[in-house]
């Protein structure tokens, strides 16, 4: 099985690239985010690979990083979510935000992906709710754990009431649940780094700064 390919980008399609590896052109399907990140035609690049083998075809799917690769595997483990839908979700929701989307049960965030309707989105949120927090992929893993268990962010925040109030306030301002949860987690980290008091006002100030950046 192919786990990684390194070569020169020969060309791009709307959902794929052709990677020239020592004179052999590999057709690799990828999300729009990966295609935008790996370089331009003529650049040297590397992509992580998942190989799907069927009786009538061998298909390669490429990923810019391990987080996106693992999320693709997790998403396509859900009944009714094929490779095309998995890539579409990763294009609409970056890998580092998917844990927040699932933890906050943010169905609209998933239905923004082409080909993902409310029924499939609900199935993804239900089946992956317990699995999302177990992904450990560096910074992405930290995000997943924080999203699944925001009450552990600080021993001074017993019960996570401040975090929950901040998320609720942001949602009342019109922000999506996953965006609000992610902003609060990043805001808490920023507040601690700057030595600010971890009260609701400070947390909201930092969260709004994260959302506007």
Domain covering 66-134 assigned CATH 1.10.150.20 in the classification = yes
Intervals of the chain under pLDDT 70: 132-160, 196-198
Q: Domain limits of the chain? A: 4-64, 66-134, 149-213
Top-level CATH class of 4-64? Answer: mainly beta
Looking at the chain, the whole-number percentage of residues with pLDDT higher than 70 is 85
Q: Is the pTM of this model over 0.85?
A: no
Three-state SS sequence of the chain: CCCEEEEEEEEECCCEEEEEECCEEEEEECCHHHHHHCCCCCCEEEEEEEEEEECCEEEEEEECCHHHHHHHHHHCCCCCCCHHHHHHHHHHCCHHHHHHHHHCCCHHHHHCCCCCCHHHHHHHHHHHCCCHHHCCCCHHHHHHHHHHCHHHCCCCCHHHHHHHHHHHHHHHCCCCHHHHHHHHHHHHHHHHHHCCCCCHHHHHHHHHHHHHC
The predicted pLDDT at position 47 comes to 97
């Amino acid at each position: 099985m192919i786990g990684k390919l390194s070569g020169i980008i020969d060309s791009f399609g709307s959902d794929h690239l052709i990677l020239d590896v020592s004179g052999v052109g590999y057709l690799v399907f990828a999300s729009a985010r990966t295609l935008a990140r790996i370089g331009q035609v003529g650049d040297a690049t590397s992509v992580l690979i998942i190989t799907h083998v069927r009786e009538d075809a061998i298909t390669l799917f490429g990923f810019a990083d391990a987080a996106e690769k693992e999320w693709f595997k997790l998403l396509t483990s859900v009944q009714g979510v094929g490779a095309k839908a998995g890539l579409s979700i990763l294009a609409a929701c970056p890998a580092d935000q998917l844990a927040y989307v699932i933890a906050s049960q943010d169905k609209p965030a998933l239905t923004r992906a082409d080909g993902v309707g409310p029924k499939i989105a609900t199935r993804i949120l239900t089946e992956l709710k317990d699995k999302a927090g177990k992904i450990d992929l560096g910074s992405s893993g930290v995000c997943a754990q924080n999203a699944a268990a925001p009450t552990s962010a600080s021993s001074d925040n017993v019960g996570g009431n401040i975090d929950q109030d901040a998320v609720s306030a942001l949602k009342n301002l019109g922000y999506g649940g996953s965006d609000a949860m992610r902003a609060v987690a990043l805001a808490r980290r920023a507040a601690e780094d700057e030595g600010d008091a971890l009260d609701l006002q400070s947390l909201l100030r930092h969260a709004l700064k994260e959302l506007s950046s």
